Amino acid sequence: MPVSFRVFLTGSRCSWVHCLFARLLSIMTVLKYLQAYPSALQDQVRQLIASNRLADYLQQRYPERHAVQSDKALYSYAQGLKQAYLRNAPNLDKVVFDNRLDLTHRALGLHTAVSRVQGGKLKAKKEIRIASLFKDAAPQFLKMIVVHELAHLKESDHNKAFYQLCEHMQPGYHQLEFDLRVYLTYRELPGNG
Ligand SMILES: [Zn+2]
């Protein structure tokens, strides 16, 4: 009998059939957050899932949690990054955590210019909304999503200049975006979240 079967059999509260089924499901599942990446890379993630090593991968690289827990703290956090890297970009009027940002629509962050009439003039208010799941995340992941939304103050598209700006604000941005997507994948595996 293969070793992996013995592991299932020793599980106290679930039958090995159930475990095997859940595991197969997660392996076959389309990795929706990683679809833009090469299939070889996606297969590596599937292998980590299949061998129950995805949690270790994330824990080893991102063991910390940040302390930015309120909208006020988030605003000063974003403002600090903006002052350091994007002084000439438009002012930020509002930066908040938003628990309505729907993950299924892949909107982890949102930047908007809300037009309001002020003193007879039309004024565009710049707002950034960050999905609430980032309250409980590694500092690198919070920074990545804020950097992403800040970069949109200058570049509306995901073009080369946009990613250069992200990389300038957070070296290793591309790796972090990949790992963040791995983290989101992990959260949605059966039994996590
Ligand atoms: Zn974007």
**pLDDT for 11-20, tens place per residue?**
345 566 666 6
Per-residue b/e over 91-110, b at no fewer than 16 CB within 10 Å? ebbebebbeebeeeeeebbe
Distance 17 CA to ligand 1 centre (A): 41
Q: Is the distance from CB of 92 to CB of 75 less than 8 angstroms?
A: yes
Of 18-22, 86-90, 124-128, which gets the smallest average pLDDT?
Answer: 18-22
Residue 3 has pLDDT above 50, yes or no: no
Per the model's pLDDT, the better-predicted residue between 39 and 168 turns out to be 168
Distance in angstroms (rounded) separating the CA atoms of residues 64 and 46:
24
Structure tokens given for 22: 């859940």
Distance CA(58)–CA(72), nearest Å, equals 28
Cα angle: 140, vertex 144, 149; to 5 degrees: 155
What are the beta bridge partners of residue 110?
129
- Give 125 Cα–ligand 1 centroid separation in angstroms: 18
pLDDT at 50: 87
Q: Ligand 1 mean position to 84 CA, how many Å?
A: 20
What is the CA(192)–ligand 1 centre distance, in A? 26
Alpha-carbon gap, residue 111 to 171, rounded angstroms: 22
Report yes or no on whether pTM surpasses 0.75. Answer: yes
